């Protein structure tokens, strides 16, 4: 739109210059006629020269205006670029704490080994654990040993602690390697061993009160 307005103003200015030239020529012709002088005849070449000079002057004026306007816009854009401060955004990565969930008894397969020498000990313990929800994959007699224990495969550490509490608060131990045949498909093994003998304290000598 700015260029279109400039072209319109430019054309009107040229038209105005040509009209002004015609009026000046008519005024001079009348004066010369009043004095008895012959009129001035403007040749086509002279008219073109005059028109070219007018166009050149107007073009120079418009060029100067455009240069001044462009320089102001350029300096303004440079100033804006210098004043712009790049913004920095700091992103703090979110930390996620994942805790391993303990599997329910229904997802834990258990084998019971009777190493206590007590008949039906493994069957009774299997029934107790099955009532809680554990999957009993089998029970068998093992080599006699002392003490009870619970051992689970790698990845079942939390389940081993829960199973040990359900068995009776016994200690956890490593999963047998190699596992007994009955525990081939088991996640955990419950071993029922002999109870450790409780040492008995012998009574001291009986003292009788002395008689005087």
pLDDT in tens, 140-181: 998 888 889 999 999 999 999 999 999 988 889 999 999 999
Name the strands in the sheet holding 188-193, side by side, starting at the edge strand that comes first in the sequence. Answer: 135-141, 109-115, 188-193, 149-152
**What's 105-193's CATH class?**
alpha beta
**CA gap 23, 169 in Å, rounded:** 124
Q: What is the pTM of this model?
A: 0.47
Plot region of 76 (φ>0 → left; ψ -120 to 50 → alpha; else → beta): alpha
Least confident stretch, 59-63, 106-110, 184-188, 208-212: 208-212
What are the sequence ranges of the domains in the chain? 2-75, 105-193
Run of H or E including 73: helix 44-83
Plot region of 68 (φ>0 → left; ψ -120 to 50 → alpha; else → beta): alpha
In whole angstroms, what separates CA 68 from the centre of its chain? 50
Strands 135-141 and 109-115: parallel
In tens, the pLDDT along 49-73 reads 666 776 777 677 677 867 776 655 5
In tens, the pLDDT along 88-140 reads 666 656 554 445 688 999 999 999 999 998 988 999 999 999 999 999 999 99
């Amino acid at each position: 739109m700015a260029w279109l307005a400039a072209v319109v103003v430019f054309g009107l200015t040229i038209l105005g210059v040509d009209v002004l030239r015609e009026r000046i020529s008519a005024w001079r012709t009348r004066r010369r006629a009043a004095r008895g002088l012959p009129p001035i005849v403007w040749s086509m070449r002279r008219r073109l020269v005059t028109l070219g000079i007018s166009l050149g002057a107007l073009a120079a004026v418009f060029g100067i205006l455009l240069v001044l306007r462009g320089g102001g816009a350029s300096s303004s854009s440079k100033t804006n670029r210098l004043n712009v401060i790049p913004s920095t955004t700091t992103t703090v990565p979110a930390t996620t704490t994942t805790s391993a969930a303990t599997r329910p008894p229904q997802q834990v397969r258990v084998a019971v080994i009777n190493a206590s020498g007590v008949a039906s000990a493994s069957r009774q313990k299997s029934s107790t654990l099955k009532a809680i929800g554990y999957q009993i994959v089998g029970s068998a007699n093992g080599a006699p040993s002392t003490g009870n224990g619970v051992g689970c495969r790698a990845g079942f550490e939390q389940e081993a602690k829960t199973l040990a509490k359900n068995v009776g608060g016994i200690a956890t131990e490593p999963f047998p390697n190699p596992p007994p045949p009955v525990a081939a498909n088991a996640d955990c093994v419950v071993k029922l061993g002999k109870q450790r003998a409780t040492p008995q304290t012998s009574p001291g000598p009986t003292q009788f009160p002395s008689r005087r």
